[in-house]
Structure 1
Amino acid sequence: MELRTLRYFVAVAEELHFGRAAARLHMSQPPLSRAIRQLESDVGATLLHRSPAGVTLTAAGAALLDEARALLDQADRVRVRVATAAGATTLTVGFLGDSTDRGARRLADAYRGRHPGVEVRVRETDLTDPTCGLRAGLVDVALTRGPFDETGLTVHELRADPVGAVLRADDPLARRDRLTLSDLAGRRWFRFPAGTDPLWQAYWNGGERREGPVVRGVQECVQAVLWNGTVGMTPLGHEMPEELAVVPVVDMAPSRVLAVWQEGDRNPLIGSLVGIATAAYRA
């Protein structure tokens, strides 16, 4: 069995959905389905039950999943050990103004446990560069959020978070259980400086051109709401001062948490980090 095919199988087994697994693997669904069928033929057992309700693992599939994870983990360790022996002992990771994410903390613990000989350097950036210095060559891999121009980059989704509007606690809309973007029409929003990636700007402005204060960092966003009653957006679950409230916005697409690196960069330290991050950010 090829490691690539085992990676395909693990993705389907974890997602329990061929479409999501294909997106995670950055491939189309038909070749993924063919690869899984061939794997089932190779092992002589049905690994997945397919039905209109979804995908479930068979007993044979559950057994293979455990073994496949162990094999892929060992292969990952081998690649990193060879790379470190060859002198690749540092990795610079960019974070988008939020290295306190629980997923990031779990990732740090797991990566250090797996590769204690690798020095990880952290570069935290403000909200004006969603690639965290990747395009400028300042980091090897970015743990960030989309959307942004992905030209020349490899993008791997780690998680998708629903978002909400950040409002002053005394704002009449703060008493609502949910909001739509139309509820926020006519309000002042915080904006990012000119030159910020237009896809990124448009997402955090709800797809509209907005008026309001220009901000660069998370704390500036918070202060803009506190001082001016400005509307902001944030992933749900982020801690806010008690003077602020976060209300879910139901017609805004979730915020995608991403691992991003330069297209064609096959540094095994990056591959290992992305693999560990996939589990850490979804735990």
Structure 2
Amino acid sequence: MSKTTPEPSALDRHDEGTPGIGATSSDIQQDYDIEHAARVSAEAAVFMRDRVLSIVSHDLRGPLNAIHSWAHVLERKLASEDPGIARAIAGIRTGVEQQVKLIEDVIDRTRSATRNLVLHQVSAPMQPLIEAEVANIRATVARARNVAIAPQLALDGVSANLDTARFGQAIWALLAYAVETVAAGGTVELLGKIAGGRVEIAAVFAPAPADATPGAAPKTGGIFTETPIDLDNGALPLALPTRVVVAHDGELSDEELVDGRRRIALHFTGRQTG
């Protein structure tokens, strides 16, 4: 007679993605890595969306301003006695005002959260903040694409006034973009230094050729692979790190080196405390 094995109870099971009583520390760490990568990936997508909305808002206002100006010219030049012309010009102005209100109520209001960042800044050491994001990228996006990350950080004892959550997201998004842009199996160098009271964190990598077959999209963080490269002069994937570092009175630089590699860096104020 066959013996039926009883199904494990809920207390004995470790459902996928949910640590149970039987979960090991490595299981919990893996769940945390996946959750953190997914959360920051979603944040980066929001910043990219809002950057697109900003471009749309700007590009729509240009022709609307021109239409409004020409309506004013027509009103002055054409015979005001003609009620048909007066009604036509009034209709044009009403249409322009409706479009402007739509832009303000829908487009501009949607992106207000990232346009006006609320920062909670504290004095934070840079080295552990960066190392935590590097560890997460290695365990998620880099592992999925078989990309190595080679940190060369000289930031022991260096601190800065930061919103640590937001700045961690900026570092994550910068590294994730580099990992997704480099050829599968390649290496991303991560450099960190301080000079003259300015901290620089740079990702240096050789981008995959434009006609290369893309690698398998990672399960988490694969938000940059489908981004149109011609939109916003190619800077759209860096919307989150750009916005965050600017909010910290810093800037983002993006340059092509003489050997064809790309160097993207965050620059901001820091201090040597140790």
Whether the TM-score (by the shorter chain) exceeds 0.5 is: no
Q: TM-score range by the shorter chain?
A: under 0.3
The answer to which structure, 1 or 2, has the higher relative contact order (CA under 8 A, 6+ apart) is: 1
Per residue, is there more helix in 1 or in 2?
2
Question: TM-score when scaled to structure 1?
Answer: 0.19
